[in-house]
Structure 1
Amino acid sequence: MNAPDRYERFVVPEGTKKVAYERDTKIVNAASFTIEREDHTIGNILRMQLHRDPNVLFAGYKLPHPLQYKIIIRIHTASQSSPTQAYTQSIDDLDRELDHLKKSLEEEKRRYEEKFRQGY
């Protein structure tokens, strides 16, 4: 079988950057970010987070090819912001949201275990 090894889907090769930035030369305040070893999961959640930013005019992503394990995120912002600022802010916001979700789940688990110990 000529399929690539499974580890190639998530291990970033040595010397390769996880995220690469490329400014758009034709549109002001537009850029593309290539994220290595990611798929629709990260692409869609990041796109949706970018859409929450009122300074983002366009945010979309694509997988160039099914055997290339990377996504390309395209961001176009208003003049008050830059694509890099929007990208960084969306990553920070997602990090906070996921941290809050983790803490909420841990608290709920703790409550459930406490009830279970009491004989509920």
Structure 2
Amino acid sequence: NRLLEVDSTAVAIEQREKFQVEKYANLQAFEFVIPHSDHTLGYILKYELEQLAQIEYVSIKLPHPLEQKLVIRVYSNKQNADVKELFYNAIQSAKKHLEEIREKINDLE
């Protein structure tokens, strides 16, 4: 089930086990590299990050079709914003929304 895959990847990211973070010099910008992920998770996290007032820019990309990794670039318009913490908050929000979807699907069965 694709929903379970996305949820398990979100849990691994949340536990800070499954990704790399690189900071851009002199900017409140970070690049999160998540292995074994694709656009599905990317668009979910992009949406959640775009809902946060402190985030000015979010992009996602898959560097190459043969590389199974997702790159999410995040830029904050606030100097004191903790972009990594905002990323974890977006994961929490995504997990909450995925759980709501799962419950609605289960109610239909």
Listed as ranges, the gaps of 5+ residues in structure 2 are 1-16
Shift of 1:26: 3.5
Shift of 1:81: 2.2
Shift of 1:43: 1.1
CA distance in 1, matches of 2:29, 2:67: 24
User: How high is the sequence identity, in percent, across the aligned residues?
Assistant: 25
| Corresponding residue for residue 35 of structure 1 | 34
Conserved 8 A contact 1:55-1:80: no
Residue correspondences, number: 92
TM-score, normalised via structure 2 length: 0.77
| 1:103 correspondence with 2:103 | yes
| Corresponding residue for residue 54 of structure 1 | 53
- Superposed, 1:8-87 pairs within 5 Å as 18-27=18-27, 29-77=28-76, 78-87=78-87
Highest RCO, 1 vs 2 (Cα 8 Å, sep ≥ 6):
2
Q: Deviations over 1:41-66 (max 9, x none)?
A: 11111111111111101111111111
CA distance in 2, matches of 1:105, 1:68: 32
CA distance in 1, matches of 2:87, 2:74: 8
Which of the two has greater helix per residue? 2
Structure 1: which 4+ aligned runs deviate by more than 3 Å? Answer: none
The more displaced of 74-83 and 55-64 is: 74-83
Shift of 1:33: 0.4
SS of corresponding position for 2:57: strand
Q: CA RMSD of the aligned region, Å? A: 1.4
Could you say which structure has the larger radius of gyration? Answer: 1
Listed as ranges, the gaps of 5+ residues in structure 1 are 1-16, 110-120
